[in-house]
């Protein structure tokens, strides 16, 4: 039995070792890109101005901008955006409204506009602007959340500005948005009398169309002004805080006559900057296990690990360890070989499969030429992980990650292809939520029959299937190694995992732990650790006090207003605890160096140093050893404390998120709301155009021939927001020649009224 | 225990068989132009044979393993390219994020090696570079064998011309 085991193990190991030689040397890593920017109307704009991470390459930035013209909402959710992955969260801000029949009357059917449908259809989405603003001006928001909500708000308002400008132009209403003061964002609705024609006087609901549009535009204006007023207030608050005496001299404005207030763009840039580093760590932490960086549930990376994963400055582009071959390109080729094997060993019985397979070479070509970019695509398309993570990771980590995924993929998918229907089916089982996506994809429909063919017939197909022990064993061996490595690497965190306590309990528990640790360190480690001991005790005492404070207050205070304060409290304590750990580390290093020095000239006996007759050296060595052991224990305790603190901080951040969710759950009934009446405007302006007041017998608007229907798209998006004209014998048609309305000069809405694209970018 | 032993023996035998299958020499003949190097490849039956130009231009010739096919030439009765074949390609592109893929031309030709389908076109590489491609697919009754040439649109001159001409030296040996 042993012989067989050895034989198989030897074969697999040999194969594993030689497999990376199967392919040629990989291409060198591309150079770091210059910061991206575009010039629009003579102004240089950075990605941050569009809610996009500043780390994107120029080419990618231009691609996103191009996409913005074609698919404005999709561009908002690209991986590099602050809104990435928040589609569902933001979709909660779109109201579900009743569908309307051809006459503008509500039906029992409901409609909810979506981001990915009719992106360029103006007025298709019924936004709850009040809810958006509530969410936006929540004090617990992270800068990144604010950047996203600002982008979203601008996009949403832009859609409706575009809609009304378009309608006003179409019906020759002469209604325009204009700035009250060119230097301020505040808008007003003006009527350009020269442009106003009687085509806009057609009856609409219970009033003339002109009056209706005027009111609606007023509401939109009010939303816009309220939003920018709040932004200004927020900015003023932030500016005021810089005069806080606790701030350093460098933070305080000393320019006579006052300092310019930072623009929203600048603030966004700052937030995005944060989004690039801390944000990345947060995102990676959220899915540390799912991404395969660890096998331990709930394990989060510490700062050092995060830095290793994301720091591009120290990136060599090569990874080491389990699942790693030299570069990402090699792993991709292994991946390709798994995929190609399944295809080329199959019996193709349809042209679409044949065409599909003939494109595989294009992928291979890309794997060879552009491994990192190809990796991003494959990880996104095959494993369902968007480019967020890949963009955050440095090249070394990308290699490690991709290699790991592919290692698992190869290990689990091979063999199944011949027997049970192919990698798609297997992937579905193995990568449940992830590759389940694949199974729904047209590709699966194409390749699956081919793989079934492979399963059914042919010696070659069988041969291909029997390669599985190689892949499976390789996956298993490397998987085990990864588990071992992961366990080892994250040992300090495993202990912390047990502490699942409430937010209020964490600081107290941690405080007590810190107190005890401090005392323990002071007692056991002697004078060297006195400083650390004091620091830990102080931190602990503060935390116990804080826990008492929290318990003294009510729960809502904790979840709504006190979280930022809690964060503010956490940071210094965390820093202190980190300093404590670092101090312990330094001591350990010093002691270890001393031990190494002591061991010079000594011999090793039974795994221990033998100093011969030099008893003083032996005594010193033993003393140091004891000290090292004690310091190690202290360090472990301090690390646990640090972990608890970070957890507590993470919990506080979660509270922020919950705060946003709680806000977004506060859904308003929109049944009779107007286009804008469901949001802020709705609360300020009662809906006057009640549907029940409509007279179905009233004749249709037909004061002019060839007048188009005023309603935007029947039954879509606006609900009964824009009432439809009453039924008529004569169907309304588009105007023969609508005179062009003058573009609103220096107004916030988009210059092209008919374009729902980027939306307004108000001067801030 | 005995059962495990048999299973393991069986596994090793099958593995060896598969390894031999994967390593077996390919039948095609192709004369690569000067300054093109072939990548080492231990699994020519599963992984395409690749020739890369040694210069700065990323010119690549790929010869994938042959495909066993029961459908024949993707040609309609009127001599046009079957739309399903094209649709399969488009589906692939959608799946793997290959952008701006465009077929500029195609033709069917009878050659001594079987009927050949030539497809020319371009796409945007993942790095955003416009890349031209030429595919030659040869069809026999039960097998399709292909050769693919890729080069950046900006690459011109002798190297590209030689690479294009070299496609004519390809003999799939599928009859």
What b-and-e string marks burial along A583-611, b requiring 16 or more CB atoms within 10 Å of the CB?
A: bbeebbeebeeebeebeeebeeeeeebeb
Instruction: State the pLDDT at residue B101.
Output: 93
Q: Which is higher by pLDDT, A46 or B172?
A: B172
**CB < 8 Å from B in window 449-508 of A:** 458, 460, 463-467, 469-470
Which residues on chain A are in Cβ contact (under 8 Å) with B89? 355-356, 358-359
Q: Which is higher by pLDDT, A556 or B92?
A: B92
ipTM of this predicted complex? Answer: 0.89
Instruction: State the pLDDT at residue A704.
Output: 37
Domain annotation covers residue B165: yes
CB contact under 8 A, A362 and B133: yes
Instruction: State the pLDDT at residue A656.
Output: 59
Facing residue for B71 by CB, picked from A349, A363, A466: A349
Residue B150: pLDDT band by 50, 70, 90 thresholds? very high
| β-pair partners for B68 | A347, B143
Tens digit of each residue's pLDDT (9 = 90 or more) over A12-39: 444 443 333 333 333 333 333 456 777 7
**Residue B16's CATH number:** 3.40.1000.10
Instruction: State the pLDDT at residue A569.
Output: 61
Cβ contacts below 8 Å, chain A against chain B, sum to 210
Which residues on chain B are in Cβ contact (under 8 Å) with A346? 68
- Domains held by chain B: number: 1
Domain annotation covers residue B175: no
Which residues contact residue A686 at a Cβ distance below 8 angstroms, ignoring those fewer than 6 apart?
A: none
Chain B interface mutation, best of A2, A10, A355, highest count of B Cβ atoms under 10 Å: A355
Characterize the bridge pairing of strands B67-69 and A347-348: parallel
Structural domain of residue B81, as residue ranges? 2-169
Tens digit of each residue's pLDDT (9 = 90 or more) over A94-114: 888 877 665 556 778 888 888
Interatomic CA distance for residues A576 and A582, integer angstroms? 10
Domain annotation covers residue B152: yes
A220 and A157 in contact (C-beta within 8 Å)? Answer: yes
Q: A591-597 long-range CB contacts below 8 Å, 24 or more apart? A: A591/A624, A591/A627, A591/A628, A591/A631, A592/A628, A594/A624, A595/A621, A595/A624, A595/A625, A595/A628
**CB < 8 Å from B in window 44-73 of A:** 59, 63
Cα dihedral sign, A406-A412-A417-A420? negative
Taking all residues of chain A, what is their mean pLDDT, rounded to a whole number?
60
- Cα A572 to chain centroid distance, Å, stands at 27
**CB < 8 Å from B in window 235-254 of A:** none
Residue B95: pLDDT band by 50, 70, 90 thresholds? confident
CA angle, corner A464, sides to A459 and A465, nearest 5? 95
Facing residue for A377 by CB, picked from B89, B97, B137: B97
Domain annotation covers residue B174: no
Residue A437: strand, helix, or coil: helix
- φ and ψ at residue A610, rounded to 5 degrees: -115, 115
Tens digit of each residue's pLDDT (9 = 90 or more) over A243-285: 444 444 434 444 444 444 445 555 555 545 544 667 777 777 7
Domain boundaries, given as residue ranges, for chain A: 85-244+260-268+690-764, 312-489, 493-664
Which residues contact residue B114 at a Cβ distance below 8 angstroms, ignoring those fewer than 6 apart?
A: B138, B139, B140, B172, B174, B175
Q: What is the largest CA-CA distance in chain A?
A: 117
Which residues on chain A are in Cβ contact (under 8 Å) with B101? 362
Tens digit of each residue's pLDDT (9 = 90 or more) over A123-164: 788 888 888 888 888 776 767 778 888 888 888 888 888 888
A74 and A96 in contact (C-beta within 8 Å)? Answer: no
**B83 vs A219, A442, A450, B40, B141, CA distance in Å?**
52, 16, 19, 36, 20
CB contact under 8 A, B95 and A441: yes
Residue A325: pLDDT band by 50, 70, 90 thresholds? low
Residue B174: pLDDT band by 50, 70, 90 thresholds? confident
CB contact under 8 A, B97 and A464: no
Chain B interface mutation, best of A13, A351, A363, highest count of B Cβ atoms under 10 Å: A351
Residue A362: strand, helix, or coil: helix
Q: For residue B49, count other CB atoms closer than 10 A to its CB.
A: 18
Tens digit of each residue's pLDDT (9 = 90 or more) over A415-427: 333 322 233 322 3
CB contact under 8 A, A381 and B47: no
pLDDT above 70 covers a percentage of chain A that reads 43
């Amino acid at each position: 039995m042993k012989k067989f085991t050895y034989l198989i193990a030897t074969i697999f190991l040999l194969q594993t070792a030689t497999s990376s030689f199967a392919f040629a040397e990989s291409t060198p890593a591309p150079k770091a890109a210059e910061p991206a920017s575009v010039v629009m109307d003579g102004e240089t704009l950075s990605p941050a101005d569009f809610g996009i991470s500043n780390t994107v390459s120029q080419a990618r930035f231009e691609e996103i901008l191009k996409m913005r013209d074609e698919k404005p909402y999709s561009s908002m959710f690209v991986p590099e955006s602050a809104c990435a992955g928040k589609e569902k969260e933001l979709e909660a801000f779109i109201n579900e409204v009743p569908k309307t029949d051809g006459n503008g009357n509500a039906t029992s059917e409901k409609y909810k506009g979506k981001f990915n449908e009719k992106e360029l259809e103006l007025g298709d989405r019924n936004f709850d602007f009040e809810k958006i603003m509530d969410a936006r001006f929540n004090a617990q928001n992270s800068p990144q959340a604010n950047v996203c909500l600002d982008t979203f708000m601008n996009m949403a308002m832009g859609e409706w500005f575009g809609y009304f400008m378009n309608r006003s132009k179409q019906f020759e209403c002469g209604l325009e948005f204009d700035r009250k003061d060119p230097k301020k964002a505040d808008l007003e609705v003006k009527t350009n009398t020269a442009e106003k024609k009687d085509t806009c006087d057609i009856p609409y609901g219970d009033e003339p169309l002109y009056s209706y549009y005027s009111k609606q535009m007023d509401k939109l204006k009010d939303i816009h002004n309220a939003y920018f007023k709040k932004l200004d207030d927020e900015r003023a608050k932030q500016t005021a805080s810089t005069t806080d005496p606790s701030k350093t001299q460098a933070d305080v404005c000393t320019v006579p006559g006052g300092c310019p207030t930072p623009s929203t763009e600048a603030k966004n840039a700052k937030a995005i900057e944060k989004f690039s580093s801390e944000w990345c760590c947060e995102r990676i932490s959220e899915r540390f296990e799912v991404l395969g960086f660890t096998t331990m549930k709930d394990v989060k990376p510490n700062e050092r690990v995060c830095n290793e994963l994301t720091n591009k400055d120290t990136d060599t582009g090569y990874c080491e360890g389990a699942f790693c071959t030299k570069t990402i390109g090699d792993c991709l080729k292994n991946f390709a070989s798994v995929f190609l094997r399944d295809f080329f060993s199959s019996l193709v019985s349809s042209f679409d499969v044949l065409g599909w397979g003939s494109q595989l070479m294009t992928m291979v070509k890309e794997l060879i030429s552009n491994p990192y970019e190809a990796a991003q695509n494959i990880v996104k398309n095959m494993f369902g992980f968007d480019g967020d993570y890949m963009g955050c990771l440095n090249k070394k980590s990308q290699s490690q990650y991709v290699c790991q995924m592919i290692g698992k993929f190869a290990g689990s998918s091979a063999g199944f292809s011949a027997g049970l229907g192919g990698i798609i089916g297997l992937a579905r089982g193995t990568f449940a939520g992830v590759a389940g996506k694949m199974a729904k994809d047209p590709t699966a429909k194409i390749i699956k029959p081919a793989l079934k063919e492979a399963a059914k017939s042919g010696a070659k197909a069988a041969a291909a299937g029997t390669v599985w022990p190689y892949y499976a064993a390789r996956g298993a061996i490397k998987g085990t190694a990864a588990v071992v490595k992961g366990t080892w690497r994250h040992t300090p965190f495993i202990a912390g995992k047990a502490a699942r306590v409430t937010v209020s309990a964490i600081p107290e528990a941690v405080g007590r732990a810190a107190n005890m640790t401090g005392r323990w360190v002071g007692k056991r480690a002697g004078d060297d650790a006195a400083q650390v001991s004091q620091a830990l005790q102080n931190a602990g005492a503060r935390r116990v006090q804080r826990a008492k404070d929290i318990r003294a207050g009510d729960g809502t205070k904790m979840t709504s207003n006190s979280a930022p304060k809690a964060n503010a409290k956490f940071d210094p304590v965390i820093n202190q605890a980190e300093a404590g750990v670092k101090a312990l580390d330094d001591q350990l290093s010093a002691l270890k160096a001393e031990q190494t020095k002591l061991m010079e000239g000594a011999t090793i006996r039974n795994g221990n140093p033998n100093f011969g007759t030099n008893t003083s050296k032996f005594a010193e060595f033993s003393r140091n050893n004891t000290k090292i052991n004690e310091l190690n224990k202290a360090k472990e305790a301090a690390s646990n404390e640090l972990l608890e603190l970070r957890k507590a901080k993470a919990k506080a951040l979660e509270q922020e998120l919950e705060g946003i969710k709680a806000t977004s759950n506060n859904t308003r009934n929109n049944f009779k709301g107007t286009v804008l009446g469901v949001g802020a405007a709705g609360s300020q302006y009662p809906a006057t155009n009640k549907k029940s007041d409509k007279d179905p017998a009233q004749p249709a608007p037909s004061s002019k021939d060839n007048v188009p229907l005023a309603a935007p798209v029947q039954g879509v998006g606006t609900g009964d927001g824009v009432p439809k004209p009453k039924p008529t014998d004569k169907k309304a048609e588009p105007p023969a020649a609508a005179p062009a309305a003058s573009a609103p000069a220096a107004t916030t809405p988009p210059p092209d009224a008919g374009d729902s694209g980027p939306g307004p970018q108000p001067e801030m | 225990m005995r059962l495990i032993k048999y299973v393991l023996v069986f596994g090793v035998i099958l593995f060896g068989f598969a390894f031999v299958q994967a390593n077996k020499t390919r039948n095609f003949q192709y004369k690569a132009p000067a300054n093109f190097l072939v990548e080492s490849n231990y699994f020519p039956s599963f992984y395409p044979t690749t020739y890369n130009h040694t210069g700065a231009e990323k010119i690549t010739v790929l010869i994938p393993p042959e495909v066993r096919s029961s459908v024949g030439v993707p040609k309609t009765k009127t001599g046009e390219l079957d739309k399903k074949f094209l649709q399969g390609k488009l589906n692939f592109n959608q799946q793997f994020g290959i952008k701006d893929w465009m077929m500029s031309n195609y033709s069917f030709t009878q050659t001594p090696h079987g009927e050949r389908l030539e497809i020319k076109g371009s796409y945007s590489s993942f790095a955003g570079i416009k890349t031209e491609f030429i595919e030659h697919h040869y069809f026999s009754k039960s097998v399709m064998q292909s050769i693919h040439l890729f080069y950046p649109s900006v690459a011109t001159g002798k190297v590209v011309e030689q690479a294009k001409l070299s496609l004519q030296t390809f003999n799939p040996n599928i009859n």
